[in-house]
Amino acid sequence: MNCSDSAEIKICLVCDITSKINYHFGSTTCLACASFFRRTVSLGIHYICNKDGNCSASHVIRSGCRSCRFKKCNAAGMKAGLVRGKRDVSKMPKYVRDSVQQGNDVVLRDYATLTVETLRGCSSKPNESEDNGIEEKEINTLLNVTTDQLMQYYIDLNNKSFLPISRICSYSFYELNRKNNQEATGICQNCPGTDLLDLMDLGILFKYVSFANLWLDGLWAEIQINKFENSAIDENEYNDMRNSFKMFICDFKMNVGKSLEHLNLDLIEYAALKSFCIWKLGILDFGTTLKIFAQEHYLGVTEALNQYYEEQKNMNQEESALRIANMTLLLGPIFNSYQDLMKLHQNFSEKIQFGIEGNQSDLIF
């Protein structure tokens, strides 16, 4: 490797890792350290080291002493003044909410350094190690929710009146789209982790939220009503259709609806599929930040789904994995239908706009 190649390698000034490096909060760090710094500052957490205050912050044991890791962040030049505070108290972990309600400005957290022995499960402080393990299992650091809470969020999105796709027509679409845009904007603002996204990322995410919230929900509702008993269309009739809007709906039913019907998902499984569509359809459009959040959502939902399969469906690991794999494979034809919708959109003369916080706009159905 020559000198010019070496000069291009970026290293996180906190943990020394060389992947996903960028400029965060005044310093050159990886996204993981940036997320840790942002969370610590925004929640007002003050970690206490139980050692000598000089623990390693290497990415190899990055889950170790958080007090020393935060100290390393400051030494690397990261500036707390560049971090915006949490806007939604309900998204804070319980220990933070309790501290805020008690009027405390700083949340104290006691963390012992994790050594190689403790990482192998040989901690000399079993009670403390057990407590920390429970917290790590319960709270997703980036999303600030448990896997159960994450799954419940997507289930709650379905607590609404569904409009079957056959009832979506061009002459009523404008009003439907306005309502859908309002719902999609609310999802973008309240979905776990989105309070950490910038406006550009929210604008990208909005497109896929909007698609899933209207079209996928409509397809799901249609299946629940009539199982597509009357959806078959004669080829000649199809060719005679002049309304491209109806043609898209027909294609969506045939290309996605049949497979979705065959999967016979229950409400919880459909909530998981909808989350996959929101966070996985746009993977080619997503930048690094959105891809990381998308993976966190996917892993969190699949973990909750596996637990649901085991406890409620008595399914083994192989059956659960196959079920989730079949749901994930459905994203291919769904993405193709999304692209068809975008092409149809380009043919519409009426431009429908949306806005998030009044600054960002785009064209979307």
Residue with tokens 């009146």: 161
For residues 116 and 178, membership in a common domain is answered with no
pLDDT, residue 85, reads: 59
pLDDT, residue 106, reads: 43
CATH of the domain at 16: 3.30.50.10
- Which of 138, 160, 187 represents a domain boundary (last residue)? 138
CA distance 1 to 81: 39
pLDDT, residue 171, reads: 60
For residues 156 and 299, membership in a common domain is answered with yes
For residues 155 and 97, membership in a common domain is answered with no
**294-301 mean pLDDT:** 93
pLDDT, residue 241, reads: 38
Of 74-88, 186-200, 233-247, give the lowest mean pLDDT range.
Answer: 233-247
Q: What is the pLDDT of residues 256-294, one digit of tens each?
A: 999 999 999 999 999 999 999 999 999 888 988 899 899
Q: What is the pLDDT of residues 14-31, one digit of tens each?
A: 888 887 788 888 899 888
- Which of 138, 164, 193 represents a domain boundary (last residue)? 138
Q: How confident is the model at residue 67 (pLDDT cuts 50, 70, 90)?
A: confident
**216-241 mean pLDDT:** 64
pLDDT, residue 58, reads: 74
pLDDT at residue 338 above 80?
A: yes
For residues 229 and 91, membership in a common domain is answered with no
CA distance 318 to 308: 14
Report DSSP state, residue 28: E
List the Cα angle 218/219/223 in 5-degree steps: 115
Per DSSP, the residues of 84-103 read PPPS-GGGS-HHHHHHHHTT
The total domain count for the chain is 2
CA distance 279 to 284: 11
For residues 122 and 198, membership in a common domain is answered with no
Q: Which domain holds residue 181?
A: 147-363
Residue 240: helix, strand or coil by DSSP?
Answer: helix
pLDDT at residue 248 above 50?
A: yes
pLDDT, residue 255, reads: 92
For residues 123 and 151, membership in a common domain is answered with no
For residues 280 and 334, membership in a common domain is answered with yes
For residues 133 and 165, membership in a common domain is answered with no
CATH of the domain at 221: 1.10.565.10
- Which of 120, 138, 156 represents a domain boundary (last residue)? 138
Q: How confident is the model at residue 109 (pLDDT cuts 50, 70, 90)?
A: very low
For residues 115 and 222, membership in a common domain is answered with no
For residues 126 and 197, membership in a common domain is answered with no
**337-356 mean pLDDT:** 65
For residues 47 and 194, membership in a common domain is answered with no
Select the more confidently predicted residue: 262 or 140. Answer: 262
For residues 129 and 162, membership in a common domain is answered with no
Q: What is the pLDDT of residues 165-223, one digit of tens each?
A: 888 776 677 788 889 999 999 999 889 988 888 889 999 999 999 999 999 999 999 88
Most confidently modeled of 3-7, 130-134, 225-229, 231-235?
225-229
